[in-house]
Structure 1
């Protein structure tokens, strides 16, 4: 990926790149393998919030990660 230097400059958690130019996990190897674990990097995510009803009967439903 060509924008790693920009991502490194703005990353909340500093990270280095390996010899191939891929980001290294800042805490070293995790030992985890399998689906979606072949690459490390920041991931954007959003949690849904639903507002239902009106006036005094308005309810908010939010999702949390466990």
Structure 2
């Protein structure tokens, strides 16, 4: 069980908890089914093209 009150106090973006005590996305539903609550790892590739 995460200590959500601690995370809320230190969060850069404020968030609320639902009736079950789970965090809600601060901007509403994302449309993504991530399968778990809390932080989710993600990677964004960067492609650089040039000449020389």
Larger radius of gyration: 1
Structure 2: stretches of 5+ with no match in the other structure = none
Structure that is richer in strand per residue: 1
Superposed CA RMSD? 5.7
Q: How does the TM-score come out when normalised to structure 1?
A: 0.45
Q: How does the TM-score come out when normalised to structure 2?
A: 0.55
After superposing on structure 2, the runs of 4+ consecutive aligned residues of structure 1 that deviate more than 6 Å are: 31-36, 44-53
**Deviation string for 1:5-54 (max 9, x for gaps)?**
00000000100000000000000xxx97898613453457899999999x
